[in-house]
Amino acid sequence: MLIVQIILIGVIASLLITLLKSYQPTIALVIMIATTCLLFFFVLEPLKEIVNVIQSMAGQYQLDIVHLETMFQIIGIAYLTELGAQLTRDAGLSAIASKIELVGKVFILIVSVPVLTAVIEAIIRFIPS
């Protein structure tokens, strides 16, 4: 099972990082980053399947694909921002991690403008003139 492999990789990497952290902190950091990337890679295939299912449902119910793609972009930005911030925080750089989170929030706002515009236009249509 995939989950067992992911957990074993995480546990083994955690043991290695714990053992090396006091003697070779740079190598421990590299192992942490490599492990995070590897674990993220394992999750990409199931995520791709979920996206395909949602896209096929959107096509079936004739939903606006632009808004769906925007939502996927927002979710992707949120996950990648969280991943980058956690890695940076684990490296002991909390100040940079908070800046990464801020940049992620700004990018989410930028990407969400078309959806916000559509929502505002829909609300305005319901308001009698």
Q: What is the C-alpha separation between 97 and 100, in angstroms, rounded?
A: 5
pLDDT tens-place string over residues 61-78? 887 777 888 888 999 999
In this predicted structure, the answer to whether residue 9 has a pLDDT above a threshold of 90 is: yes
- pLDDT, residue 69, reads 87
Predicted TM-score (pTM) of the model is: 0.79
Overall domain count for the chain: 1
Residue 69 lies in a domain: yes
pLDDT tens-place string over residues 14-55? 999 999 999 999 999 999 999 999 998 888 888 889 988 888
pLDDT range class, residue 7, cuts 50, 70, 90: very high
Closest CA to 17 of 33, 3, 28: 28
pLDDT tens-place string over residues 89-125? 988 899 999 999 999 999 999 999 988 888 898 899 8
Gyration radius from the chain CA atoms: 20
Distance set, CA 129 to CA 38, 81, 95, 116, 122 (Å): 56, 42, 49, 21, 14
Residue 76 lies in a domain: yes
Cβ neighbours around 102 below 10 Å, total: 12
Residue 91 lies in a domain: yes
Residue 29 lies in a domain: no
Domain span at residue 116 reads 64-129
Residue 103 lies in a domain: yes
DSSP category for residue 93 = -
Residue 34 lies in a domain: no
Residue 58 lies in a domain: no
